[in-house]
Amino acid sequence: MKEIPFSPQMMERLGGIADITGSPPEDSDNSEQIERMKSALTKALTELTDKQLEVVQMYFWDDMTQQEIAKELGTSQQMVAKHLKYALKKLRNSRYFTDCFG
């Protein structure tokens, strides 16, 4: 798995994925939560299938559209959407997020 760049924008996305609300991620008063989120995400990503992980990385970290991902992977946009949908569901329901924030 490639290294995860935890930029402020990525932390906002992660907060949305995990349904975590609170202070803005870049707020220095929130550094403990940020570290917990990073740890939870890194662990939760291991629960994804290889294809789901590939699609999530391309979509969130490489900022590719579903159409661009489909072309790159030689599949349909609908299949990319399906992988993304189930990956996000797994991430939202990951025990790592519920252990940290539940």
Q: Does the pLDDT value for residue 35 go beyond 60?
A: yes
Domain ranges of the chain: 8-101
4: enclosing H helix or E strand: none
What are 61's two structure tokens?
């970290």
Burial class (CB in 10 A: 0-12, 13-18, 19+), 28: exposed
| Cβ neighbourhood burial of 43 (10 Å; 0-12, 13-18, 19+) | middle
Q: Give me the mean pLDDT over the 78-82 stretch.
A: 97
- Report field, pTM of the whole predicted structure over 0.85: no
How much is the pLDDT for 71?
97
Type of residue found at 65: T
pLDDT band at residue 61 under the 50/70/90 scheme: confident
pLDDT at residue 64 is higher than 50 = yes
Q: How confident is the model at residue 54 (pLDDT cuts 50, 70, 90)?
A: very high
Architecture of domain 8-101: Orthogonal Bundle (1.10)
